[in-house]
Structure 1
Amino acid sequence: MYRIYGHETVLNIFKSVISQNKISNAYLLVGEKGLGKRFMAEYFAIMVNCKKETEKPCFKCSSCLKLMDKNHPDVFFIEPEENSIKVDTIRYITNEINIRPYEANKKIFIIDQADKMTVSAQNAFLKTLEEPPLYGLFILIASQQQKLLPTIISRCNIVRFGKESKNTIKNYLICEQNIPEKEAEVLAHIADGNFDQANKLTDNEYLNFRKETIQEIEKILTIRGFEVIEEFEFFDKNKDNIEEVLKIMLYYVRDLLIYKVTKDASFIKNIDFLNKIQQMESQLTINKLNNIINKIEQFNSQINSNVNYQLAVENLLLDMAGGL
């Protein structure tokens, strides 16, 4: 069963287009990674092809059951291969969309991480979007809308996803992950409205990784001079997971900056490290913390380009350790 936590605005949009029978041929679900866009895309697909006349979805008709089992002949799930969606995949979609649905009202293509389409793939997809058959429905999911061509965006109805409330995440953790209420309260605060982050925080392996990463940045911030280069070992060990390392570090430094400026613990994301944050912020200036945040963000934008990884990490470490 698809139980929904939050998403009231998005659900109301879907209910409205279904009840008025005004389903467009393309929707773009936009929001940061981990907010439940894929889940709601699937839910919308179930609603669209549900055979019941009212109160869609019923979760009982043949269409609902097949979609819940991911084996509906008229619903296709498209995902990146090797971190991109290539033009061959779009050609496959183009061929399939020209074949009428076998049993449903709509032939639906859910394109996850649509912002990872190559430029050539986007141009090829644009032709399909311009003149789709009436029975075709595209549901695109993207966390970085700016990576899609403006011409593609203009042909989609945009549905925006925001962070959920702390209470929503707390209820999700209690009901779906069987987390005790007090622990769920803390994890929901750290998750900051993000379902994926909440799920990660229930995994002991991830919790150990997060703790190790925070301890590493605390260590870096206490080192002065070229000795900091020795910390490359940590980044080398975690090279395959570097984006998550940088995200954890970025949030932690932002917590240091926010607490230094406000002295208000309610604004702190890493609330379980509050005592350490309170100890460390006095040792760092606002200027230095701002500089570190900028350098981490700059490094994060470099890692997907063809840069020398070790050199880039060493430059980051020196920037983090030096200056005021």
Structure 2
Amino acid sequence: MYRIYGHETVLNIFKNVISQNKISNAYLFVGEEGLGKRFMAEYFAMMINCKGETAKPCFKCSSCLKVMDKNHPDVFFIKPEENSIKVDTIRYITNEINIRPYEANKKIFIIDQADKMTAAAQNAFLKTLEEPPLYGLFILIASQQQELLPTIVSRCNIVRFNKENRNTIKNYLMFEHDISEKEAEVLAHIADGNFAQANKLTNNEYLNFRRETIQEIEKILTIKGFEVIEEFEFFDKNKDNIEEILKILLSYMRDLLVFKATKDASFIKNIDFLNRIQEMESRLTINKLNNIINRIEQFNSQINSNINYQLAVENLFLDMAGGL
């Protein structure tokens, strides 16, 4: 479970701060979803409180075992409820941070999706962050740094997570999912350096969903006129997965644009659909592809607002089919 793939730069940061005993009170782990930020936050917490004599974490001491079992009395895992972290949660953290650790060197709060703190929660958290006790440590995890108050960001040591190389993802798939090297190479290419995406691609149900989504995209791009709105059925049936549909849609449209401009298959993410991409790109101009991508991104920014879902989706279809 705790075999590390990649993350060399991040691991060096961890090792240096621990060996030099220069652990700060707050860290911000930032990078797109799926790069291993949560995993590495837990790993860092184990390293800090490990009671082993040699390499840390040792995975054997009582502290490491408790962190792995998610029952360490001094390591707290905070995550959003109903898609946000509210001020009541921050008040809970404030109360807890003022109680000394029961058994560890540091009392650690791992705040997942910290960028989903409400405005009130961020302001309340800032007060705690300004003067934390020496034994207190916050690890904030965020994919959208700009959603956090600059004053919060300025009080954190930033650890940036980047996409891993294709070989790292391939090895991860081979050893953690028992996939053949040939298949792992293809899936690693599609995953594009993202561990979470690699995990999804090992799931047959997700692969079927992805294939159906791409087939729907191709239908929408080839149908002319108002008949395109009949494709709403797929989007209605999968309304709860609309964010994933849009990710697949943007990835596929990007591939069409890139191949249209370069004719270089090495830049294609959805390499298993290369033949379809080669056929589809000839039907669309670079200008049209750019406009469609911008329109999808506009729709993506609207989906969490109070909009008429069916009307918004149908308008998107009409634009993609020829209205742009």
How big is each residue's C-alpha offset from its partner over 1:68-120, in whole Å with a ceiling of 9 and x where there is no partner?
Answer: 11111000000111111111110100000000000000000000000111110
Root-mean-square deviation over aligned CA pairs: 0.8
- The match for 1:37 is 37
Say whether 1:264 aligns with 2:264.
yes
After TM superposition, the structure 1 = structure 2 runs for residues 92-241 of structure 1, keeping only pairs within 5 Å, are 92-241=92-241
- The match for 1:13 is 13
Q: Is residue 288–residue 323 contact of structure 1 (8 Å, CA) maintained in 2?
A: no
TM superposition shift of 1:323: 4.3
- The match for 1:301 is 301
* Identical amino acids, percent of aligned pairs: 88
- The match for 2:71 is 71
- The match for 1:50 is 50
TM superposition shift of 1:54: 3.6
- The match for 1:250 is 250
The SS at the match of 1:307 is: coil
How big is each residue's C-alpha offset from its partner over 1:106-151, in whole Å with a ceiling of 9 and x where there is no partner?
Answer: 0000000001111101111001000100000000000011111111
2:250, 2:72 → 1: CA distance? 42
Query: Bigger shift: 109-118 or 45-54?
Result: 45-54
1:131 counterpart letter in structure 2: E
How big is each residue's C-alpha offset from its partner over 1:135-184, in whole Å with a ceiling of 9 and x where there is no partner?
Answer: 00000000011111111101100000000000000000000000111000
2:296 counterpart letter in structure 1: I
- So what's the TM-score if we normalise by structure 1? 0.99
TM superposition shift of 1:204: 0.3
2:113, 2:34 → 1: CA distance? 12
The SS at the match of 1:245 is: helix
How big is each residue's C-alpha offset from its partner over 1:168-226, in whole Å with a ceiling of 9 and x where there is no partner?
Answer: 00000000000111000000000000000000000000000000000000000001111
After TM superposition, which residue ranges in structure 1, 4 or more long, deviate above 3 angstroms?
none
Q: Is residue 27–residue 156 contact of structure 1 (8 Å, CA) maintained in 2?
A: yes
2:187 counterpart letter in structure 1: L
How big is each residue's C-alpha offset from its partner over 1:220-276, in whole Å with a ceiling of 9 and x where there is no partner?
Answer: 000111111111111111111100000001100110110011000000000000001
1:149 counterpart letter in structure 2: L
TM superposition shift of 1:306: 1.3
Gaps of 5+ in 2: none
- So what's the TM-score if we normalise by structure 2? 0.99
1:309, 1:154 → 2: CA distance? 39
1:54, 1:90 → 2: CA distance? 36
1:216, 1:8 → 2: CA distance? 40
Q: Paired residues, what number?
A: 324
1:109, 1:13 → 2: CA distance? 19
2:64 counterpart letter in structure 1: C
Gaps of 5+ in 1: none
1:188 counterpart letter in structure 2: A
